[in-house]
Structure 1
Amino acid sequence: MDAEMSVQTLVQKSGRTREAKVRLEDVAKRLGVSVATVSRSLAGHPAISSETRGAVRAVASELGYRIPTQGRRGKKSSTKLIGVVVGALHNRFMTLLLTHLHDALQELGYQMTLVIDSMNDSQNLQALRPLIEGYLDGLIFATATLDSPVIAEMQRRAIPLVLVVRSVDDVRVDTVEIDNVHAGAVAAEHLYQLGHRRIGLVMGPQNTSTSRDRAKGALTYLADIGISSEAVTLMWSDYTTEAGYSSAMAIFNEADPVTAIVAGNDTIALGVLEAAARRAIKVPEQLSVIGFDDMPLAGSPLVALTSIRQPVRAMARTAARRLIDRIRAGGMGAPVHDVLPIQLVRRETTGPRHDGA
């Protein structure tokens, strides 16, 4: 329903009849909800609870708003289908997250459909709008970027939504993540305590909260102990093995090479390890490497990667529960920000800095 729809009410003023418009915005302001929530409530959308629909209709009636009969859409039946949006599937951590999301949603009586799309511009949303508004009861985003307008647009349309793994700024939405600033600091502290002073950071995309915050945490910790950001090599890349490989090769060519690298995730770390092997740089004797996620491959004897573990199963189950709660509440209630704990898992890719390294 168009947020600009209005009806005419007659108001007497100074003995003369004039027309005043009662808009959806007026109803939304009275209730303290979004215009889209009012629109969906009046349309009988299943994502809006019966309590919310009743409150909206009561206030609309009080203000003199009538629902136009022409062009009114019928009530959409609940599909019990949740869309999960990811940018790509090359990251084993993401496929593990999807597995846990599927299981958690199924336990709650919902099914999952996968949307592989960056969803970082409004055209993506327009293309998928028939699917989102016609078939899905809600969405879980695991691919949000800081500069994406899609999350705010979803909020405006009152589509039940939860962000997992990544967060966005200035949008009030349910979010499940770790404290990535703290995680970055823990990674840098681990390397510093091993004696490393020349440390490189190979992060993922700069427009993601995970990369930005992990880099911020590491740089802040190092600055606090006297290592300025100018002394730290920082490279932004993609969350891929290829990006880790090419970034590490560039770092190895520096005149004053690093003795340790913080990789933005385990997938990047694998590329760094491959580059080190290609250049005959011994790990961890000459180079220490730490990643994030602690994906299953990180613990294999062939890799034995030191990593910051994210509680992937708990993240998935928390995100699923938050979304279903949001659906049942009809969009009402303040957004919840769940911050889950991390764990430093020490393995064989980090070790003390050796003299002459």
Structure 2
Amino acid sequence: MASIKDVAARAGVSVATVSRVLNGHPSVSTDARARVLGAVETLGYRPNAVARSLRTDQTRTLGLVISDVMNPYFTELARSVEEEARALGYSVIIGNADERPDLQDHHVRTLLDRRIDGLLVSPTDGGSPLMVDAVRAGTPMVFVDRWIKGLDVPVVRSDGRAAVRALVAHLHGLGHRRLAIIAGPAATTTGRERVTAFQEALAEYGLPLPAEYVGQGDFQAASGRRATERFLDLAEPPEVVFAADNLMALGALDAVRARGLRVPEDLALAAFDDIPWFVHTDPPVTAVAQPTGELGRAAVRALVDRIGGGPGESVTLPARLVVRRSCGEPAPPPAPAPTPTASPSPVRRSTP
């Protein structure tokens, strides 16, 4: 079985450098880290995690508490977290809060009891006493996507304000004037932020956001359906519904179809959080896309830095608008037919 000395020899570095890479220390260069991880993979080196945890008081394990594992956004986020953690020599234990603060705290408590080295959390509400206590006790922690204000914890998130502004400009250019939103929970930072961004963007075009055009959702499909049904029952329904989450958008789509109506002819639809399914719906859904994979990887790097005694810098990445056809956009022109190629002339053979 390969030893740490074998890994160091193959990578052309010192044993100390191998140790730093395996312990996620940020001071190692990108090139040296790649060579060490390549040597580990080639040699099949497996450090004794139990012995190492006894020596270093580390378990090489991270905790990840996500808001809803059924939400494709968080599924992709969890995957990128796990991949980056594995590349840095960590395992990940995942807890699904199902958008419930009590379940979130259950997972946080369980993970802390298992002596994880650090914790990634997408909070389901604006203030968990348990997480406040964990931060004050010195637990390395990073918030991803959502955060709790007032805590000295790095936040890795996307900024959707510019993309929402681009969406409203796009809708205005298509001639839409009555725009509604299905909001996420007001207790979450993303729930509040997306409504504010939408309202500010409407104001730039002199468009109001009446109270009846704000539907309250919970980032799950059933709430999107209920809010859309209420919009459709209004004396003057909106022309467009902007769902501040992909699952709520799917619920809105269900509500429209259940009444025998069509998107976008009877009601246009846009969503925050693009997902692979949106290109397969009829019509494909216009959406604000977050750089989910980049967010997950950046969150792990920030947490590993925090575990190593570093500051764990906050990261904000821009979201972008993906235009499709659910808001009345013109269909793309058909692809040109392939130009037929001339078939070669048959070879004529002379007879003797």
Cα distance change, pair 96–303 in 1 and its aligned pair in 2 (3 A): farther
Structure 1 residue 274 corresponds to structure 2 residue 254: yes
In structure 2, what is the equivalent of residue 315 of structure 1?
295
- Contact in 2 for aligned 1:293/1:310 (Cα 8 Å): yes
1:161-208 CA deviation, whole Å, 9 max, x = no partner? 111111222222111111133343333232222111111100121111
Q: Which residue identity lines up with residue 314 of structure 2 in the other structure?
A: H
Aligned twin of 2:77: 97
Matched with 1:171 is 151
Distance 1:160 1:213, change over 3 A: same
1:242 aligns to 2:229 (yes or no): no
Using the TM superposition, give the Cα deviation of residue 275 of structure 1 relative to its aligned residue in structure 2, in angstroms: 0.8
Q: Matches of 1:127 and 1:107 in 2, distance apart?
A: 24
Partner of 1:162 in structure 2?
Answer: 142
With over 3 angstroms needed to count, the CA separation of the structure-2 counterparts of 1:124 and 1:105, relative to structure 1, is: closer
| Deviation of 1:241 (Å) | 1.4
Q: Which of 327, 347, 350 in structure 1 is aligned with 2:307?
A: 327
2:85 corresponds to 1:108: no
SS across alignment from 1:242: helix
What residue number does 2:337 align with?
none
Cα pair distance change 1:145/1:184, threshold 3 Å: farther
SS in structure 1 at match of 2:206: coil
Structure-2 separation of matches of 1:327 and 1:93: 26
State the one-letter code of the partner of 1:342: A
- Tell me what 1:339 maps to: 316
Structure 1 distance, partners of 2:110, 2:226, is 40
Give the whole-Å Cα distance in 1 for the aligned partners of 2:301 and 2:253: 37
Distance 1:128 1:291 in 2: 30
Question: Quick one: structure 1 residues 147 and 131, their matched pair in 2 at CA, closer, same or farther if it must change by over 3 Å?
Answer: closer
Q: Where do residues 298-313 of structure 1 align in structure 2 (5 Å cutoff)? A: 298-302=278-282, 304-313=284-293
Q: Which 5+ residue runs of structure 2 have no aligned equivalent?
A: 1-22, 26-53, 331-352
- 1:189 and 2:189 correspond: no
Shift of 1:279: 1.7
TM-score w.r.t. the length of structure 2 is 0.72
Q: How many residues matched?
A: 278
Distance across 1 between alignment mates of 2:92 and 2:329: 46
Decide whether the 8 Å contact of 1:186 with 1:218 is kept in 2: no
**Between Structure 1 and Structure 2, which shows a larger proportion of strand residues?**
1
The answer on whether the counterparts of 2:269 and 2:286 sit within 8 Å (CA) in structure 1 is: yes
Report if the CA contact (8 A) 2:246-2:275 is conserved.
Answer: yes
Per the alignment, residue 101 of structure 2 pairs with: 120
2:29 corresponds to: none
The alignment partner of 2:210 has SS state of helix
Label 1:319 to 1:134 Cα distance change in 2 as closer, same or farther (>3 A). same
For 1:343, the aligned partner's letter is R
CA contact (8 A) 1:289 1:349 kept: yes
Say which SS state the counterpart of residue 163 (structure 1) adopts: strand
Give the alignment partner of residue 205 of structure 1, picking from 172, 176, 185.
Answer: 185
> Distance in 1 between the 2:187 and 2:107 partners?
23
Q: Do the aligned residues in 2 keep the contact of 1:120 with 1:147 (CA within 8 Å)?
A: no
- Using structure 1 for the length normalisation, give the TM-score: 0.71
Query: How large is the Cα RMSD of the aligned pairs?
Result: 2.5
Q: Which residue of 1 aligns with 2:349?
A: none
Match of 2:327 in 1: 350
The CA distance in 1 between the partners of 2:80 and 2:169, in whole Å, is 31
Q: Is the 8 A contact 2:181 2:214 kept in 1?
A: yes
Deviations 1:74-100 (A, max 9, x none): 987211010100232221111111111
User: In structure 2, the residue corresponding to 1:82 is in which secondary structure?
Assistant: strand
Offset at 1:149? 3.3
After superposing on structure 2, the runs of 4+ consecutive aligned residues of structure 1 that deviate more than 4 Å are 123-128
Q: Indicate the percent of aligned positions where both proteins have the same amino acid.
A: 28
Q: CA–CA distance in 1 between the matches of 2:77 and 2:283? A: 21
